A and B are shown apart, each in its own frame.
Chain A
Amino acid sequence: MLDHDETLGQAREELEGCLDVEATRAVERRYLGKQGVVQGQLAEIPRLEPDARRAAGQAANRLKQDLQQAVQERIEALESADIAAQRAGTGFDATLPAPHSQRGGLHPITQVTRELEDLFRSMGYDVLDGPEVELDYYNFEALNIPGDHPARDSHDTFFCQGDGHLLMRTHTSPVQVRAMERFEPPMRIVVPGKCFRQETTDASHDHTFHQMEGLVIDRNVSVSHLIGAMKTLLRGIFGRDLDVRLRPGFFPFVEPGFELDARCPFCTDGCSVCKKTTWIELLPCGLVHPNVLRSGGLDPDEWGGFAFGLGLSRLVMLKHGIDDVRHLLGGDLRFLEQF
């Protein structure tokens, strides 16, 4: 028979030497497994004197229990040591950078367009679309700019090949008469879209840019309503009330026509954005010219309205402080990734 204490002591010693659960289990098998020490002792019992068997059985069982407990203790000790080691966070570098995660995103013009569309839709405007390749009729004729009107010069038009009736629209205004043809008044619409001007490009001019046209047709619409609507619009864009001023501006499709200036939102006493004037020229607008209403099949004695044009590209540049308009359509990821 094995001596209980000696065997247990030896096992404990071996267990002490085990540094992980796996090694502990190996020791456990050696003592408690099918071929193990305890099993060997139990196997000897039948060969003993009958009255010694009982004591031997009890001794073997006690050894087994004590060994099991020793193993369990060792495993628990190892596990808590392991958790303690994990808790210590050895090797953790708090300054390792987070892995780079490529993000998608919307173009800044899309973002601003959406904000404005939502603002206008909340005020009862519909959002319309119009063609970039436009008929001369809608871009000029129907807007009270007949064939030899000097105002055509300032539009720097890209003309299309063919019989001269097609051009790249120079503004979003052609949608005014298109809308009047399609819908019954009263109406409130905005039209975001691409426009084209054949001019030399530089940091503040590009031959392709984005605009948003607005048109309100109703009975009894006055300059006073126009001012109110524009102030609401600016409140929506800049999130606060901005002082505005209307001054005369000449656009053949409105009469009277205005340029709307807003107090520079970036300074109080002049900065580079407002060219030291404290005013920024924001949008041309005016009461719809009676001839334009006639082009749209409306009776100017019954219907009136106002129209305005917002430079989306310019607004995006103002909003983000972009110094070169050509970045907008340049497709450079280093630009696009910033929004």
Chain B
Amino acid sequence: MNAPDRYERFVVPEGTKKVSYERDTKIVNAASFTVEREDHTIGNIVRMQLHRDPNVLFAGYKLPHPLQYKIVVRIHTTSHSSPTQAYNQAINDLDKELDYLKDAFEAEVSRVGQANQHQGF
């Protein structure tokens, strides 16, 4: 009877920010990003994309607890970049990759669709 609502897993509660950001107090150019209502889907692609950035010294994510619907992404960069810059860059690059993939996939679907029609499928 006291079970939490199912939508709590993916609806950000009112008054809570989707992404919050906290700088490391001891290390320069290091920060943690708390992303509400996200999981391994976003955490892992963002982490792997950050690893492609040579200015990123460390990038990792964790899902602190299966019943806490948030992830924490930690980024440490060189002085040529900053955690926020690297984070934004990673998301922009992933977005562009998906744009490219969508176009490539749609072109391939229409190519195969036409080929299937010729074969009388």
Q: Are A and B subunits of one complex?
A: no
